[in-house]
Amino acid sequence: MVESAGKAAHRSSAVAEAWSVPLLFPPQRPRVVVKADLLPAVSVLSTAALLGIPLGWLWAQLAPAQRVRVVTPDGGLVPLELESWHRFDDLAVFGFLAMGAGLLIGLVTWFLRERRGPVVCLAAAGGALLAGWLGTQMGPAFANSKYSVDSAPALGTVLSQAPRLESGWVILAAPLLTCLVYALMTAWNGRADLGRRLG
């Protein structure tokens, strides 16, 4: 009887010790660093935004032109059969290129180990958004110069019309993939401080 009472007392003291330590000494959670990450975040945002220029140039080289026929003396144009499908192709090509840029921005930003956190993640997403917008501005400009017509075309002439983007929503492809990649890398890391202290 005395032995069982001793075992019960020992078990209760072990349970008390197990539950009292976390209550007396709660684990220190890393805080979000904002001030130290502001300048690197501006650098990430501006550098990521500059990707919009090569994004627009690459789109202008890859996007298919739409072949059209001149049907009126004043320059009225009508697309040839099935050529109007390239309107979607142009949008899809830009979307895939923007997702590739977002993937690149998310991965490169994640490898800035000492700056991991929400501040730099938001800066990367903002830079990807600016890159997408800049790509939509520069891409058609590059394409227009590539498919420019020097003289007035004759009636019945078949021309290659420069590709164009008919939806502004495509600029969201890059920031969405940037956030998705960063979130997946964060979940895969599993550390409370995302490994910043190892940088």
SS3 84: helix
What residues contact 133, with CB distance under 8 A and at least 6 apart? Answer: 52, 171
Q: Angle at CA 79, nearest 5°, toward 73 and 81?
A: 130
CA distances from 125 to 77, 102, 155 (A): 40, 8, 48
**pLDDT tens digits, one per residue of 108-164:** 999 988 888 889 999 999 999 999 999 999 999 999 888 777 766 767 777 778 888
8 Å CB contact between 95 and 63: no
Give 24's pLDDT tier (boundaries 50, 70, 90). low
Q: Give me the numbers of helices (H) and strands (E) for the chain, helices first please.
A: 6, 3
Task: Identify which has the larger pLDDT, 30 or 7.
Answer: 30
Residue % of the chain over a pLDDT of 90: 44
Q: How far apart are CA 68 and CA 63, in angstroms?
A: 16
Kindly tell me if the per-residue pLDDT of 16 is higher than 50.
no
Q: How far apart are CA 25 and CA 11, in angstroms?
A: 22
